Structure formats: structure tokens, C-alpha cells
Amino acid sequence: MNTNMFKAGDEVLAADSYSTVNDIPIEELPLPVDFVWGAATAAYQIEGAAYEDGKGRSIWDTFTHLEPSRTNGENGDVTCDHYNRMPEDVELMASYGMDVYRFSIAWSRIIPLGGRNDPLNEKGIAFYNDLIDRLLAHKIEPVVTLFHWDTPQGIYDRYGAFLNTTEFRADFEHYARLCFSRFGDRVKKWITFNEPYIISVFGHHSGVLAPGRSTANGGDSRVEPWRVGHTIILSHTSVVQIYATEFQPSQFGTISIALNSHFYEPWDATSSVHIDAAQRRLEFYVGWFGDPIFLGKDYPASMRLQLGSRLPEFSPAEIELLRQSVPINTFYGMNHYSTKYARALPDPPAEDDCTGNVEEGPTNNKGEEIGPASGMSWLRVAPVGFRKLLNWVWNRYQLPIIVTENGCPCPGESQMTLEQAVDDKFRSRYIGLYLDAISRAIYEDGVPVQGYYVWSLMDNFEWSAGYGPRYGITHVNYNSLVRTPKNSASYLRKTFRERRVARQE
């Protein structure tokens, strides 16, 4: 790999381009001896048991049963049935040698209607207590996400959830306190929200994810995404304050948020217009949430300039709360899968634009692809971009980074036989290359990356794509629900056993 094309923190230089994943060399570079690895999942995607033991409905239970279907005619009613097969799944994690397991709590499983005055569901609470205890018994650290997209339908029906900042913030505070009080004696790493960009844009702009709001169906794509994002930032900030003042002194844990983003290369690396567009796209994607949460300041100037009054204002009291919360966010959770080219659009932005007036795609002005395609056309193998994003985030926020999601489906995997799917060389190469990028970021660039959580522990319900894409390091037969480890699971166990070494000075 031509690393001399890259300088730490310089996001404007061109990425390498390869025709196949096999063209990119894996070097199996070292990682720190205390670097941790594990796998990540989300409750709605794996738990199933959608109506068992008192669980309430979430917006995803509703969204996946709409007619006509918006999820490929499929739903998460059963999915991997992790709720009933959890002990088997923990044994599987232990066999992989995982250090950590990141999972989310289904809000409506422990507070079926979601609100601060609604009854609790002790059976749901008991499930997560059992999961946490089993993980710890196998020396696997639980990393808990409070919210991974599955808003209780009860609070959505009452006030539109994120669209009402005051009400949602109060209900989320109550829910978080419940989780901290019931699980925090054993859980030492918390994530408030998973991918607020996706909640805001895909749920309330394009409407392709639950709750499916857009201008086309009664929403307002011009303003609602920004209102939702504002609610998330303030709700996150309130909860980290609650944790710091009420729970951290006795529980000694840490808390933060998981932000997702592609990295963006300029469509034309010789043009300042497209170089600026790549930077602006990152600010509209990462800076939107990162600047208020990790810097305690207003939204990026590029957003204020384009969006004007559509972007909510922080009150002086809210800005002060953001500033006070900065040191409480003790790590940056990074969900990252791929890199794209960013091209500045020549015309003024549309009224509902949420990109910074940028077109993104897999090829540049010379027709060169950013990298080989995986099983999803948008997900290209581009480890150079990953390294650049690690640098961009570190240079901007100065926080240690945990890669809270990273992975891919193999090309054609959904049509493979079991034998073919288990022999997932493409996924293993992808992981190996991205781990090399982490090593370079740590040792050559000085970026403190602390861990890597592969997405995902097992094949599961992939939101609007249903059961098509398979991201798991474990194959799941969706008829029999039999789990079969893929070769990537063995690769991960072996590579972390061999890569983690004390640094030689």
C-alpha cells in the first residue's frame, strides 16, 4: 500500500484504487497489548421475541409490518431468537476469545410503553441481568448501548418521540437512570445513542428507516432531521451529566456516544471546490453531533451558513451544559464501514438538502473507484480512508477512539451455500486490512485507538434490507436458527492473539 500518499490529518490527498480486494496487501501489523476486540449487535436485529414476556412494541415492530412493506416483506419478530438462545450465544462468544460484547437494550422490553410514568417489565430487566452475568462469568466485558433506533411505540404515539425535545429528554433520562441503577454495578462502559445521523436523516428525512417520516408522508424533511438531531444531543448531554453525578462516583464506569461516518475524498483532488466539499461533508456528518458533544460548542459554521433558521439554536444554558459535559465523554465511539468521493454540486442546495450540497459516490473525476465492492454496492474496501478518518476525528476531538462497529458482507453471500458462506475470505481480508489501518494510525500517526468491535456477531435482520445482507462472523440459518462459526471468527481469534504485543522501542 502506498502510504506515502498520506500525511496524518490531511484528508485532501487521493486514496489508492484497487480492482479487487486481493490486490491490497495485508501486513498483519501489530496492535497494543491492551487493545481489546469483540463484536457488536443491536436488540431489534437479533433478539426476536417481539411480543414475549411483556415486551412493548417499538417503532420497528410497527415499521416492519407496514403494507406495502418497506423492509423486503420481512421483520424482526423472531430474527435470530437471541432472547431465547442467549446462553448459547454467550458460549459462542467465549469460544471466539472475545474481550468485549457490545449490545443494546430494547427500551420497550424493560419499559413497555416507554414513558417515565409507565410500568416496568421485570422479566425484561431479568433478561439483561442474566446476559450481563453470563458475559462476566466468561470474562467478556459488557458494553451497553441504551438506544439503537428502537423507540418505544408508546412515546412515539404520545408526542412524536424525538420531535418533542422536552418530553423525549425527560423520558430518556428516566430510562437511562433505570439502566444505570439496575445494571451499572457490572456495566462499566455505556453508549447513549447509536448513530444519531441515521436516526435523524434516514428516519426523518428520506423515511427509509423507522419511523419512516418524510415530506412525502406528512413530515417535513426541511426541518425535522435538525430538530431530531438537536433532541439527541441534548438528551445525550443530560444523561452523561446524570451518570457523572449520580452513578459514576460509585460505579466507576465511562460513557459516550457512537457516531457513524464514511470518510470523504475530494472527487477532484486538484480542485479547492471539491476539497472543500469533502471537508464540508464530514462536518455535516460528524461535526453535526461531534462539535456540540465533544467540543461543547455550536454546530459547525458550514451548517449554520447553509441551513440558517432551520438549524435549532442552543440556549446559553444549553451551551453551558454542553461545555460542562465535554470531559465526561471519555471516548469517541466510531462506527465506520467505507469511504466515498465528495463532489461539490454546482447549483444552490435544495431546501431539504442534508449533505452540505455534496454528491457522494464510489468514483472520482478520473473514473477511478475508491475500492473493491463488498456485498453492498456502497460498502467499498478502502482502509486508507479509514486511517484518515481516525486521524480526522483525533485531530478535531482529541479523544481516544473505540471502533464500535466495522465489517462487511461478502459479495454474493446471501446466495451462497452454508459451506461457501463459512469460507468468508473476503470478510477476513477486509478485517485484516482495516486492522492494519488501525495499527498505522496508532504507531505512525499517534492516534489512540483502544478497541475494535466487529459488526456483527451473527447474521441478522438488516433493517430495511431484511435478511439479505449477511454481516456476521457467525452464519445463521433463518429457518432452523442454527449458528455456524465462519472462518472470519477463527481469523479474528488468531489475529488478535498474534498481533497484540508490547511495543518494541
- By CB neighbour count within 10 A (0-12 exposed, 13-18 middle, 19+ buried), where does 164 fall? middle
The DSSP element (H or E) to which 306 belongs, if any, is helix 301-307
DSSP labels, 141-203: EEEEEEESS--BHHHHHHH-GGGSHHHHHHHHHHHHHHHHHHHTTT--EEEEEE-HHHHHHHH
- The total of other beta-carbon atoms located within 10 Å of residue 231's CB is 24
Catalytic entry in 47, 195, 265, 283: 195
Residue 483's DSSP bridge partners are 476
Catalytic entry in 11, 224, 405, 462: 405
Helix (H, G, I), strand (E, B) or coil at 380: strand
> Given its phi and psi angles, is residue 39 left (phi above 0), alpha (psi -120 to 50 degrees) or beta?
beta
**Cα torsion through 332, 335, 339, 340, rounded to 10:** -100
Q: Which residue has the cell 430474527?
A: 79
- The total of other beta-carbon atoms located within 10 Å of residue 115's CB is 18
In sequence order, the 6+-apart residues with CB closer than 8 A to the CB of 331 are 254, 256, 399, 400, 401, 402, 450
The DSSP element (H or E) to which 411 belongs, if any, is none
Radius of gyration of the chain (CA): 21
- 195 counts as catalytic: yes
Residue 56 C-alpha cell reads as 412493548
CA–CA dist 244, 120 (Å, integer): 24
In sequence order, the 6+-apart residues with CB closer than 8 A to the CB of 99 are 36, 37, 38, 140, 141, 451
Q: Which residue has the cell 433493517?
A: 463
CA–CA dist 97, 18 (Å, integer): 33
CA–CA dist 367, 410 (Å, integer): 24
- 88 counts as catalytic: no
CA–CA dist 287, 165 (Å, integer): 20
Q: CA dist 505 to 186, 323, 355, 443, 502, Å?
A: 36, 38, 44, 11, 9
Q: What is the DSSP letter of 269?
A: T
For the chain, counts of helices (H) and of strands (E): 18, 15
Strands 449-455 and 401-405: parallel
- Residues with active-site annotation: 195, 405
